[in-house]
Amino acid sequence: MEKLILNQQNRPRLLEIIQYIKSAKNIVVIVGAGISVSGGIPDFRSPDGLFAEIMKQYPGVFSSGRDLFDLSRIFISSRSLTTFYKFMALLKQQVISARVTATHHHFAKLNNTNKLLRVYSQNVDNLEERAGLTINDCNNIRSSDRIVKLHGEIDNVWCNICHKTFPFSSDVINAFKDGTPPECQYCMEQAEKAKISGKRVRNPRSPMLPRPNILLYNDFERTVGEEIGRVAYHDQRKADCLLIMGTSLKVSGCKSLVKDFSKAVHNRGGKVIFINTTEVATNNWEGVIDVHIQGASDDWAELVEAELEKEPANKKRKRSCEDDGQKIKEGKLKKLANKDDKVVGIRQGQPTLQFKKRSNR
């Protein structure tokens, strides 16, 4: 893995690397929290981040930042649930006041020149959407959608009773601020209809505890992994350049996604470019990442942008491949899987399946 600091001295080599982006037709980008920091969303685990603020107000409720995203910890007590809700209200407010960064604008420009296949984002903020990239529904990704939300999103709230989502509105923020669960509008409508028709309202087995549409640890009710596996499998048959930005590559799901895309890109003669301010262990990424450019993602975005601007207009590509807003075809995946099998991850370009026990007969 080549290492290069993003500075003026290395400019000639950096421009050579940018050639790979210029010649690519289907760029896949995998991003983490680092790209949103300059937009005003600092790492929530940083000393002045939201976790420190929550720890000050509610000492001893959660022992780590990870616990705040772990369903088995959140529902331990009413105090932990209240703390979780208050944290989510703060996070949502931070996202509302955040700014779209040069990196997010760069993704939109790559899309406008039809070079962008997809952004796989570990971020729950909505800065990619605000920059102009489209996403329809995390659970139903279409070919025209340019974003895959690996960890869900914070624009909506998911109801644990009816499994529908509704907007994370100011009313929901206020309910979370008070540490109370917001009311699901769909469940309330159902209850109202039942009341009018004189039917008895059946009490659901669990209390109504809507939560942000974020994927939490130990959340076995959500099946977004299957949708992500389907899209990644589709994209690995096209990707010819992989950019990894603003992530320290520690989350295991992200690691395997990078490795699978790297194989696909290398098979097509493309390059894997990693842009991040901090180092990663070289041993783990030899043969996976071609070059690590050490620097801020915004600085990289601006440099690439300036070079792409120099391209003559007739070289800018029109996307001829399917971009019709249709659901991505499931292809081989569905044929492999029994309807009761569960996709639990992605390995070597194919979703890994958890097979339901079958009888030997």
Choosing from 151, 163, 234, 292, which is the catalytic residue?
151
The stretches of 24-63 forming alpha helices (DSSP H) are 50-57
Binding flags for Zn ion, 250-289, as an x/- string (CB under 5 A): ----------------------------------------
How many Å apart are CA 19 and CA 315, to the nearest integer? 13
Identity of the residue, 181 or 246, whose beta carbon is nearer to Zn ion in the bound complex = 181
Per the annotation, does 254 bind a ligand? Answer: no
Site for Zn ion in 142-161 (CB under 5 A): 159, 161
Query: Is residue 88 part of the contact set for Zn ion (CB under 5 A)?
Result: no
What is the size of the binding site for Zn ion (CB under 5 A)?
A: 6
The terminus-to-terminus CA distance of the chain in angstroms comes to 51
Reported in sequence order, the residue ranges of 41-162 that DSSP labels E, i.e. its strands, are 116-121, 147-149, 152-158
> H or E stretch including 233?
helix 224-235
Instruction: Judge whether 241 is annotated as a binding position.
Output: no
158 vs 274, beta carbon nearer Zn ion: 158
Query: One symbol per residue from 101 to 140: x for binding Zn ion (CB under 5 A), - otherwise; what is it?
Result: ----------------------------------------
Measured distance CA(242)–CA(27) in Å, rounded: 6
According to DSSP, the residues that pair with 27 across neighbouring strands are 116, 241
The one segment of 115-123, 187-195, 218-226, 316-324 that binds Zn ion by CB under 5 A: 187-195
Is 321 annotated to bind ligand?
Answer: no
Q: Is residue 106 among the annotated active site residues? A: no
**Least distance in angstroms from the C-beta of 155 to Zn ion:** 17
Mode of pairing for the β-strands spanning 152-158 and 211-214: antiparallel
49 secondary structure, DSSP code: S
One-letter amino acid of 316: K
Residues forming contacts to Zn ion in the complex (CB under 5 A) are 159, 161-162, 184, 186-187
Q: Which residues are catalytic?
A: 151
